[in-house]
Structure 1
């Protein structure tokens, strides 16, 4: 059995989104080379760094590899995405087929991952107005506004995912971005 992932960089008084339990369950879904990571470092947190997409982009810029986006909605649901590249403002889609959406089932407890279908290459679309992961037919698998407070999730061609939240629209109360130390 591999050792547990260590999460670093989060202040003790910060409301956690990604827990060690979720990180270890998520690890089994990662591309093989990233499953070896022993440490994940918090790159951005709404709670620690404030509500600003500009700040998020600035803080994750130094991360040269993939990252995990983790969101907690107002009902306590936790979901997000594994992104093959760090988030940045870009006018077109970027990222590879290693990207996927996920949601945490706290009652079982386990991760449900929605991997790339190959139907399109709409992985990551992010500019100064929003973040979007997955798409097709005018919908996004996961979309968050520039204030990082409102989002929506719908089934999309990229991942053939379920809605990540119980309803298509959700209120984001916490958001974190994590990088890997390999």
Structure 2
């Protein structure tokens, strides 16, 4: 069974097993390693994604205990204009209702994820399923908070992933997989 190479504030046995089954076949069975933890700027998250050879799993959570995030291709490549990236393997997930729940693209559009220098968002059409932006993801040194937004979107036909559409984040973790292919050493 694959294992985590780092500790996580969010992953527990049931969620780990659930996400392991949801991953693309190319990374199933690989070790999971985290490059970003403990609250970071969006710029750092984008830069650290360059250290990862394949798909990445962004995991975060709100202060009320919901854990949520999404899968995207790595490294993140910010675009100058709002140009969506990703494939139908992109997904978002939440534990808002207790157990983990996965939302895959439903074919309404190709708004898988959006990466700009000051914004990272999953989904589109209506709302973003999950949105973190440069101002929201940076520490507010007075209040020392991280925040984001979530809402129902056409891409994933998801519910709000957090307890509220605007939320304070507990933390941010970026997970990669040490062997993106069975042919890589």
TM range (shorter): 0.7 to 0.9
Among residues 27, 34, 56, which one is paired with 2:20 in the alignment? 27
- For 1:95, the equivalent position in structure 2 comes to 86
Q: Give the direction of change, closer, same or farther, for the CA distance of 1:129–1:171 in structure 2 (3 Å limit).
A: same
Task: Quote the RMSD (CA, aligned, Å).
Answer: 1.9
Q: Secondary structure at the match of 1:163?
A: coil
Q: How many residues align?
A: 168
Q: Give the direction of change, closer, same or farther, for the CA distance of 1:73–1:135 in structure 2 (3 Å limit).
A: same
Contact 1:18-1:176 within 8 A present in 2 as well: no
* Shift of residue 74, structure 1, vs aligned partner: 1.3
* Shift of residue 85, structure 1, vs aligned partner: 3.5
Q: Give the direction of change, closer, same or farther, for the CA distance of 1:106–1:163 in structure 2 (3 Å limit).
A: closer
Structure 2 length-normalised TM:
0.82
Unpaired runs of 5+ in structure 1? none
* Shift of residue 104, structure 1, vs aligned partner: 2.3
- For 1:166, the equivalent position in structure 2 comes to 163
User: Which protein has the bigger strand share?
Assistant: 1
- For 1:120, the equivalent position in structure 2 comes to 109
Q: Secondary structure at the match of 1:28?
A: helix
Structure 1 length-normalised TM:
0.83
